[in-house]
Amino acid sequence: MGRFIYLDHNATTTTDERVVGAMKPYFSKSYGNPSSIYKFAQEAREAVEIARAKVARILNAKTEEIVFTSGGTEADNFAIKGIAYANKERGNNIITSRIEHHAVLNTCKWLERQGFNVTYIGVDRYGIVDLDEIKSAITDKTVLITVMHANNEIGTIEPIEEIGKILQEINKQRITNNKPRIYFHTDAVQTVGKIPIDVNKLDVDLLSLSGHKFYGPKGVGALFVRKGTKIAPLLHGGHHERNKRAGTENVPGIVGLGITCEIAMEEQEEEGKRLKALRDGLEKAVVGKIDNVIINGHPEKRLAGTLNICLKYVEGESMLLNLDFEGIAASSGSACTSGSLEPSHVLLALGIPPEVAHGSLRFSLGRDNTEEDINRVMEVLPPIVEKLRAMSPFGKGREGGLRWDTQKR
Amino acid sequence: MGYSEKVMEHFVHPRNVGRIENADGVGRAGNPICGDIMAIYIKVNDDVITDIKFETFGCGAAIATSSMVTELVKGKTIEEALKITNRTVADALDGLPPIKMHCSLLAEDGVKAAIADYKKKQELKTKGKL
C-alpha cells in the first residue's frame, strides 16, 4: 500500500496549521468569556469581532450581518426555521429543491409536520434547478426560497443569481402591493472558500457556511442574515450574537473560522484552477479506461474538485472498501453507505435509475492532492471494477447474465 | 462500517464465485433497486449439493454472506441445506452490523430459491418420464 490518499474533501478537510496556530491562544491563554466586562475578557471579545469582519469580507457582507453557529447544519436550521416561525402569520409556504443537503431537506420535512407547506423543485439531468418551476411554485403564502449554492454530491453550481433576480422582481411588486417580501436563503457550505461569493450579487438574504469544509475547524460555521430580515432565533438564552444566537461564543473556533476565510480569499482562485486541472485529468482517465461509466453533475457549472461517477453493474460500498484497502478514501451515494435502503436522493433526482445510483463514487479533491494521487487511483480503480463486475450477475453482453431492465420493480 | 474480520476476509477472498453451466438449480434473491442481488447455482447428486457457486451485486456484507452461505451449503443434503437460516450465516461470519442483517436474509433466500428451482426441475423430469 502506498501513501494514504484522501479524496473526500467535500465531507471534511484538514484544519490548516496556520488556523490551528491562530486558535491556540484562545483555549487556555485568552480564555475569557466575551460577554464579561473586565479587560481580560475584552481580548476574546475583540478576537471574535475581528473574525466576524473577516467572515463578512469573504461574503462582501456587513460585519453585523454575520451570526456564528456551530456549523452548517445549525446555520441551515436557523435560517429555515427562523424565517418560517418569524413570518408564519404572513404565510406558511417554503420552496426548496429536491437535491438539498439533509440539513435543509430534513428541516423542511420536520416543518411540514408542524403544519408548514413545502414545495420541492426538480432538477435537470445535470442537477440544475428548474427556474420556471420555481416561478410557478411561488404563491401568496410563500415566505422563503432555499436553494443550495453547489451540491455536495455532484458539485453542480446552482443559478442562485438568477433566482435572486427573479425574486427581486417579485418582491418589488409585492412591496408596491403592500405584501410582505419573500426571503431567499442559500446553503453555501460547499462554495465558501472555493469560489468567490458576493451576497449582494447573489441577492440572497441568508447564506450558510461551515468552517471545516475549507480547511477550518469543525464545530463552527456562520449564517449571513441580511440587515432587516425578520428571523426568530433557534437557541434562546443570553443576549449573544445580537440576540440571534444564544450561548457563549466558541472563541477559538470563531477565531479559526476568521483566519480560514482570510486564507481562502488569498488562495481560492489559484487552488481552484489547480484542482480543476487535476479533476479533469481524473475524469478523462476514468472515461478512457473503464467502460459503462456515467459522469454526474454539470459539465461546466461544477465545483473544481468534484468528480461523481456511476459505474454500472457494481455497488458503491464494495468499491469503497476495495479502495480503502489501497489507502484511498472516497465516498458513494449507495444505500449501503447512506445508512438507509434508498440510494442518494440527489442521483435519483437527476433521473438516474436506482440500480445505477447504487454504483456511484465521489472523488472530491483538495489541497494535498497531486497528479501522483490521480495516477494511483487510475492504477487501482480499473482492476477493482473489473473484479467486482466479474462477480456481479449483471453485465453487458454476458450470455445468460441478468439484465437491469428485466428485473422486477 | 464495523465489519468483523471474518466478513472482511470473505469479502476480499470470496469462495465459490462464478456460475455453473447446466446447473441443476438456479436461485435469485434481492432486487437491484435496493442495491443487492444474488444468483446461486447448485449441482445436486443423490440429494447432496455437490457444487455451488454465486454471483452477487452488492455491498461488502452481501458478498461476504454469499460466500459464507456457499461454504455452509456445499456437501450438505437438500434437507440440511434448507435448515440454514440467515442467522446461521450471520453467526458464521461473527455477526453483521444491524443495518446489514438483510444481506444475510438474501443468502438464505438465494439458497432456498435454488433448491426450489431444483425441485421444480426434478418434478418436471419425473412427469416427463411418466
The three state secondary structure string of A85-142 is HHCCCCCCEEEEECCCCHHHHHHHHHHHHCCCEEEEECECCCCCECHHHHHHHCCCCE
pLDDT at B69: 96
In a domain, B130, yes or no: no
Q: Give the whole-angstrom CA distance, residue B63 versus residue A171.
A: 56
Domain that holds residue B83: 5-119
Answer whether residue A401 shows pLDDT above 90: no
Measure the N-to-C terminal CA separation of chain B; round to a whole number of Å.
55
Which positions 241-300 of A are in contact with B (Cβ < 8 Å)?
none
Quick check: pTM over 0.90?
Answer: yes
B39 at A interface, C-beta within 8 A: yes
Whether residue B33 and residue A355 make contact (CB cut-off 8 A), yes or no, is: yes
Whether residue A318 and residue B36 make contact (CB cut-off 8 A), yes or no, is: no
For residue A246, the one-letter residue type is A
Domain boundaries, chain A: 5-11+267-392, 17-264
Residue of B20, B59, B66 best to disrupt the A interface, most CBs of A under 10 A: B59
In a domain, B66, yes or no: yes
Residue pair B67/B16 in contact (Cβ under 8 Å)? The answer is yes
**Which residues of chain B are within 8 Å of residue A393 when distances are taken between CB atoms?**
28, 37-39, 55-57
pLDDT at A408: 38
Which CATH number fits the domain A5-11+267-392, given the four candidates 3.40.720.10, 3.40.50.880, 3.40.50.720, 3.90.1150.10?
A: 3.90.1150.10
The total number of structural domains in chain B stands at 1
**Which residues of chain A are within 8 Å of residue B17 when distances are taken between CB atoms?**
390-391
Distance from CA of A101 to the nearest CA of B (A): 21
Neighbour-count burial of A383, counting CB atoms closer than 10 A to its CB (0-12 exposed, 13-18 middle, 19+ buried): exposed
Q: Give the whole-angstrom CA distance, residue B107 versus residue B9.
A: 17
Distance from CA of B12 to the nearest CA of A (A): 8
pLDDT at A406: 42
Q: Give me the residue from A321, A358, A390 closest to B60, CB to CB.
A: A321
Answer whether residue B130 shows pLDDT above 90: no
pLDDT at A15: 98
Confidence at A312, pLDDT banded by 50, 70, 90? very high
Confidence at A396, pLDDT banded by 50, 70, 90? very low
Residue pair A292/A312 in contact (Cβ under 8 Å)? The answer is yes
Confidence at A333, pLDDT banded by 50, 70, 90? confident
**Which residues of chain A are within 8 Å of residue B36 when distances are taken between CB atoms?**
315
Whether residue B58 and residue A315 make contact (CB cut-off 8 A), yes or no, is: yes
Count Cβ neighbours within 10 Å for each residue of A5-23 and write b for 16 or more, e otherwise.
bbbbbbeebebbeebeebb
Within 10 Å of residue B111's Cβ, how many Cβ atoms? 29
pLDDT at B34: 76
Q: Which residues pair with A361 in a beta bridge?
A: A309
Q: Give the whole-angstrom CA distance, residue A36 versus residue A94.
A: 39
3-state secondary structure of B27: strand
Please name which of A66, A354, A315 lies closest in space to residue A208, comparing C-alpha atoms. A66
The Cα angle at residue A54 between residues A48 and A55, in degrees rounded to 5: 90
B32 at A interface, C-beta within 8 A: yes
Whether residue A393 and residue B39 make contact (CB cut-off 8 A), yes or no, is: yes
ipTM tops the 0.95 cut? no
Whether residue A355 and residue B35 make contact (CB cut-off 8 A), yes or no, is: yes
Q: Residue A156 phi/psi, 5° resolution?
A: -60, 130
Whether residue A335 and residue B35 make contact (CB cut-off 8 A), yes or no, is: yes
How does strand A306-311 pair with strand A221-225?
unpaired
In a domain, B102, yes or no: yes
Active site residues of B: 34, 103
B37 at A interface, C-beta within 8 A: yes
A261 labelled catalytic: no
In a domain, B25, yes or no: yes
For residue A218, the one-letter residue type is K
Q: What DSSP string describes B86-129?
A: HHHHHHHTT---GGGHHHHHHHHHHHHHHHHHHHHHHHHHHHHH
> Is domain A17-264 classified as CATH 1.10.10.920?
no
**Residue whose cell numbers read 404563491:** A139
CATH of the domain at B69: 3.90.1010.10
A324 at B interface, C-beta within 8 A: no
Answer whether residue A172 shows pLDDT above 50: yes
In a domain, B128, yes or no: no
Residue pair A91/A140 in contact (Cβ under 8 Å)? The answer is yes
Average pLDDT, chain A: 94
| Residues, chain A | 409
Which positions 97-126 of B are in contact with A (Cβ < 8 Å)?
99-100
Q: Per-residue pLDDT averaged across A168-183, rounded?
A: 94
Q: Beginning with the edge strand found earlier in the chain, give each strand of the sheet holding B36-45 in spatial order.
A: B25-31, B36-45, B48-57
The gap from C-alpha A178 to its chain's centroid, in whole angstroms, comes to 35
Q: Phi-psi category of B97—alpha, beta or left, where left has phi over 0 and alpha has psi -120 to 50? A: beta
C-alpha grid cell, residue A272:
481552484
